Amino acid sequence: MNPSPNLFLVGPTGAGKTTIGQRLAAHYGLPFVDLDVEIEARCGTTIAAIFENEGEAGFRARERAHLDEFSLRNGIVLATGAGAVVAPENREILMSRGTVFMLGVDVEEQLDRLQHDRVRPMIAGDDRRGRLEHLAHDRNHLYEEIADLIFRGRHEGVDDAAPRAIALLDRHWKRH
């Protein structure tokens, strides 16, 4: 376990990185940063527009720069984008600068949680199930590879999940 005051949340789209992350930050009295929100704010446009204008490579370069900057802070809860773990240098940054907390979720729960989402470019299109299954195949092992702790969703709301996540962290997260 990385003895760090930083908590980095990784996991697939719809796992609850933002909603649970906000609860964790409030519980531990730490600032919360959603990396995707910061990228949009600083770029003055949406992630979908960045994908459209610069492609995935352009977005990933911006993501890497922002991750590098925010991960250097001391004492934050940082929710990464679902694809941040794809780049080896991002995985190294996450592992070396904080405790990595994976939020896991199965495709069925993702489909339920994301049924009204029309903004995420990586799951756009008609075959949402197929996209999510493909992303799970490509990324789940990367999340698990760098995770200090893994928290699995149970098809529950945030009011039930957040206390379970806090209990797990309280047992294992050694902040220095």
Spatial distance between the Cα atoms of 139 and 168, rounded to a whole number of angstroms = 23
62 among annotated binding-site residues: no
Listed in sequence order, the residues at least 6 apart from 166 whose beta carbon sits closer than 8 Å to its beta carbon are 23, 24, 27
160 among annotated binding-site residues: no
60 among annotated binding-site residues: yes
14 among annotated binding-site residues: yes
Whether the Cβ atoms of residue 11 and residue 103 lie closer than 8 Å to each other: yes
User: Is 79 strand, coil or helix?
Assistant: strand
Spatial distance between the Cα atoms of 170 and 146, rounded to a whole number of angstroms = 20
174 among annotated binding-site residues: no
Burial of 23: CB neighbours in 10 Å, binned 0-12, 13-18, 19+ = buried
Place of tokens 């719809």: 14
Binding-site residues for substrate: 36, 60, 139
Binding-site residues: 14-19, 36, 60, 120, 139
Binding-site residues for Mg(2+): 18
Binding-site residues for ATP: 14-19, 120
